[in-house]
Amino acid sequence: MSMASPVSDVADVADPGGETSVSAQSPRLLRRLLRRPVAVGCVTFLALLAGIAIVAPIMLPNVSSEQAGDLLTARQLPTGGHWLGTDTLGRDVFARLMVGTRITLVGVVEALAVVLAIGLPLGLAAGYFGGRLDRFVSWLADLAFSMPAIVIVLVVLSVFPQNMTAAMITFALIAAPGLTRIVRSATLPVREELYIAAAEVSGLSRPYIVARHILPRISGVVIVQASLLAGVALLVQTGLGFLSLVVPAPAPSWGGMIADGAKAIVLQPWLIWPPGLAVALTILVLGLLGDAVRDATTEGWAPPVRSGRRRPLVTSVESDRRGLSPECGSGRSQTALLSIEGLHVGFTSGASTRRVLEDVTLSINEGEAVGLVGESGCGKTTVAMAVLGLLTGSGQIEGGRIQFDGRDLGDLVERELREVRGRQIGLVSQEPIVGLTPVFRVGWLLAEAVRTHHDVSRREARARAVELLRQVHFADPEAAARRYPHELSGGMAQRVAIARALAGEPKLLIADEPTTALDVTVQAEILDLLRELQVKRNMALLLITHDWGVVADICDRAIVMYAGQIVEQAEVRSILQRPLHPYTEALLSASPNHASATECLSVIPGDVPRPGLWPTGCHFHPRCGYATSLCRAKAIPLELVKFDRQTRCIHHDKMAGSAPGTVTISKNGL
């Protein structure tokens, strides 16, 4: 097992250690810990164990030297007289277990003390001072990790026979660099903090700073490591005890008692249970304590949504689609490539449901480029994900209908949906590099996409992959195919992502803020590429963006979203000429494309309300200059005001009658 690897199970704590320690504050850590029943239970158990280790040998002084008990009552099962029965020599198992606690725990404490005494200061120093010391410590750790710990301990035991202290110290010496390394990486971020620099400037001595300012901050990490190391030390101590290498007979130790039980395994199998369970329970408690400390340290740091987002790979998609009701429909879907009607999407957490999309209705015709515009948090991406059947976490379609190319996507099972993804609808996201699996070469990723959608040989897929790279303007597509994602620039990665989305020759490409993460110079290049591909392939394009310039450049039609609703929908030219929703108007006037050099860029006051906090009535009324009491009273429907022109505002007549910008958005709060 993990006997010879003193640091084996620290792996999982090693990475959060660096960051979590920063948010940890030691007095609060203790208080948080005491709020956890598990932690209190663990500490109580360990205190009890320590008490037994101290008291038992004093109360039962003869047990350690007792060679044999009453041989007539040997190998008994538990009775009133012998709570845990008797061993092969008639000695009371309970008494031996209690007395044996001392030597067992002493071994653990010896090892732990040495590990802490060496590992902690070295780690703090290496993290705080860095430089040559840091490199030396790192080299030392490398060396220690290459040592077969148990064999080295055996070497020491061959020189110092039956010397447990020597054995445990040797083990600790080999284990210490592991702790050093973790303490070091926990110290590094704390060291960078401003108040440490302030303390240095104010003339406090460095040892004082380390002891008073850094040590308390990393105490959580240290406790977690200490409890894990104590568990490993216990395994080592009992292992050596089992081999009768460290505790001379007849003195009892937990490991020695397991060895005694093993010898009598045929005659009295019961004997291995009391010491075995004692060891297991202690290690379990140490492990739980470590977990509790880690949880207490990360409390309030870990994003709570995370657990909710982790959902089964396959099932979530099916459940996402359950809510689709096929009743509502309209004639539009016959001509449109994609038509969404009355789509409602909600995220469930516990008993409550937060609605993020409300009554979303839109359509995209074949070969048409549509811009979906709005501030962050309006639900634009959710629309795209709902269409692809890929709502994350607890997201569910609660009502409405999504039709694509005459098929109701709500009727499809996961397997059929997969045929739609990539082959009918492609997706390009805003984070191109992290969207490509890092362990595969670009050529492999594209060839896989080709083979997913077309029944072709590997060689053919590879050739098509290179051809796709050529189509997205790689000068040397062969060389690009041999690269890994991390070797690409943002713009290159985005072109690869576009190539992948094109592999299935989709009829609709959804580009979710495809240029947001890119340099300005690259943005134009990507947009040109999208436009070119859209025209060349007569492919429909749904471009999600908040940039009106992009919309004006590329799109035929614009759809504006605000707080989970579509608020306006029109041809790009007419919407730019005269927006018929105050939000669109505000967005446009806040757009740098519209601003002249002399006037200040206007800002929309306030924020997009978070889902679940939407106001009653019009979602925009708290930020709207046109708002009247009517706007607050009841929900506003999306209204067809002209041919192919919809708005969700009751004041659209007033707006249409006035020149843009004459009725300004209220600037209160600015």
Partner 1 sequence: MNDSSVSTRRRAAMAASDPDRPSGLQRTFGNAMLLPGWLVRLTLRRLITAVALLFVVTALTFVLVSLTPGDAAREILGLNASPSEYDRFRHQLGLDLPIYEQYWNWLSRALTGDLGKSLYGPDVAASIAERLPVTIWLVFGALLVSLILGVSLGSLSAIRRGILGRVVDAFALAGFAFPAFWLGVLLIMLFAVKLRWFPATGYVPLAQSPGEWFLSLVLPVAALSVGGVAAVAKQSREAMLDVLDSEYVRMARANGTSASSVFFRHALKSTSIRVVTVLGVQAIGLLGGTVVIESVFALPGAGSLAVTASIRHDLPMVLGIVVYFTMIVVLINLVIDLSYTWLNPKVRVR
In the 8-state DSSP scheme, what is residue 635?
Answer: P
Site string for partner 1, 215-234 (x = CB under 8 A): ----------------x---
Minimum Å gap between C-beta 15 and partner 1 is 6
Among 10, 6, 4, residue whose Cα is nearest residue 183: 10
- As a whole number of angstroms, the distance between CA 472 and CA 235 comes to 59
And the tokens for 411? 């009727």
Footprint of partner 1 on 399-418 (CB under 8 A): 414, 418
Query: Do 648 and 567 touch, CB atoms closer than 8 A?
Result: yes
For residue 400, the SS3 value is strand
Residue 573, CA distances (Å) to 30, 96, 103, 553 in order: 63, 90, 86, 11
635 binds partner 1 (CB under 8 A): no
With CB under 8 A as the contact rule, the residue among 10, 337, 409, 492 that binds partner 1 is 10
With CB under 8 A as the contact rule, the residue among 20, 76, 101, 238 that binds partner 1 is 238
Footprint of partner 1 on 127-156 (CB under 8 A): 138, 141-143, 145-152, 154-156
What dihedral angle (degrees, nearest 10) is formed by the CA atoms of 142, 146, 149, 155?
-110
Q: How many residues bind partner 1 (CB under 8 A)?
A: 100
Nearer to partner 1 among residue 336 and residue 501 (C-beta): 501
And the tokens for 504? 């299935």
Footprint of partner 1 on 459-498 (CB under 8 A): 484, 486, 497
Q: What angle do CA 512, 577, 343 make, to 5 degrees?
A: 40
Nearer to partner 1 among residue 272 and residue 572 (C-beta): 272
And the tokens for 323? 């809510």
Evaluate the CA torsion angle 455, 461, 463, 469 in order and state its sign.
Answer: positive
Q: Alpha helix (H) ranges present in 214-304?
A: 219-242, 254-263, 273-298
Minimum Å gap between C-beta 321 and partner 1 is 15
Query: Do 400 and 342 touch, CB atoms closer than 8 A?
Result: yes
Nearer to partner 1 among residue 494 and residue 602 (C-beta): 494
Minimum Å gap between C-beta 669 and partner 1 is 36
What is the Cβ-side half-sphere exposure of residue 540, based on CA atoms within 13 angstroms? 18
Footprint of partner 1 on 171-200 (CB under 8 A): 178, 181-182, 185
| Angle (deg, nearest 10), helices 490-502 and 458-471 | 130
Query: Do 328 and 342 touch, CB atoms closer than 8 A?
Result: yes
Minimum Å gap between C-beta 144 and partner 1 is 9
Nearer to partner 1 among residue 251 and residue 288 (C-beta): 288
Query: Do 74 and 87 touch, CB atoms closer than 8 A?
Result: yes
Using the contact rule CB under 8 A, the part of the chain among 275-283, 464-472, 545-553, 612-620 near partner 1 is 275-283
Minimum Å gap between C-beta 136 and partner 1 is 12
Minimum Å gap between C-beta 332 and partner 1 is 26
With CB under 8 A as the contact rule, the residue among 91, 102, 294, 453 that binds partner 1 is 453
Decide the pairing of beta strands 508-512 and 395-404. Answer: unpaired
And the tokens for 195? 């108040």
- As a whole number of angstroms, the distance between CA 548 and CA 587 comes to 9
And the tokens for 371? 């811009």
Using the contact rule CB under 8 A, the part of the chain among 4-12, 78-86, 105-113, 293-301 near partner 1 is 4-12
- As a whole number of angstroms, the distance between CA 275 and CA 255 comes to 7
Backbone dihedral region of 498: left (phi > 0), alpha (psi from -120 to 50 degrees) or beta?
alpha
CA 99 to chain centre: 46
With CB under 8 A as the contact rule, the residue among 201, 439, 600, 613 that binds partner 1 is 439
118 binds partner 1 (CB under 8 A): no
Nearer to partner 1 among residue 170 and residue 646 (C-beta): 170
Minimum Å gap between C-beta 276 and partner 1 is 4
426 binds partner 1 (CB under 8 A): yes
Minimum Å gap between C-beta 280 and partner 1 is 4
407-408, strands of its sheet edge to edge: 352-364, 338-349, 395-404, 407-408
And the tokens for 5? 């690897």
Using the contact rule CB under 8 A, the part of the chain among 197-205, 277-285, 296-304, 328-336 near partner 1 is 277-285
243 binds partner 1 (CB under 8 A): yes
Minimum Å gap between C-beta 13 and partner 1 is 9
Nearer to partner 1 among residue 138 and residue 330 (C-beta): 138
Peptide bond connecting 250 to the previous residue in cis, omega within 30 degrees of 0: yes
640 binds partner 1 (CB under 8 A): no
Minimum Å gap between C-beta 79 and partner 1 is 22
Nearer to partner 1 among residue 129 and residue 440 (C-beta): 440
Using the contact rule CB under 8 A, the part of the chain among 9-17, 37-45, 53-61, 606-614 near partner 1 is 9-17
Footprint of partner 1 on 343-372 (CB under 8 A): none
Minimum Å gap between C-beta 295 and partner 1 is 14
134 pairs with which residues across the strands? none
Minimum Å gap between C-beta 150 and partner 1 is 4
Site string for partner 1, 294-313 (x = CB under 8 A): ------------x--xxxxx
Helix, strand, coil shares of the chain, percent, nearest 5, are 55, 10, 35
Footprint of partner 1 on 379-398 (CB under 8 A): 388, 390, 392
By CB atoms closer than 10 A (0-12, 13-18, 19+), residue 598 is exposed
By CB atoms closer than 10 A (0-12, 13-18, 19+), residue 641 is middle
Residue 476, CA distances (Å) to 199, 448, 593 in order: 55, 20, 35
With CB under 8 A as the contact rule, the residue among 107, 220, 239, 582 that binds partner 1 is 239
279 binds partner 1 (CB under 8 A): yes
Minimum Å gap between C-beta 402 and partner 1 is 15
And the tokens for 402? 């999504």
With CB under 8 A as the contact rule, the residue among 448, 460, 525, 556 that binds partner 1 is 448
With CB under 8 A as the contact rule, the residue among 58, 266, 597, 600 that binds partner 1 is 266
Site string for partner 1, 21-60 (x = CB under 8 A): ----------------------------------------
Minimum Å gap between C-beta 57 and partner 1 is 23
What dihedral angle (degrees, nearest 10) is formed by the CA atoms of 5, 6, 7, 9?
80
Footprint of partner 1 on 503-562 (CB under 8 A): 503-504
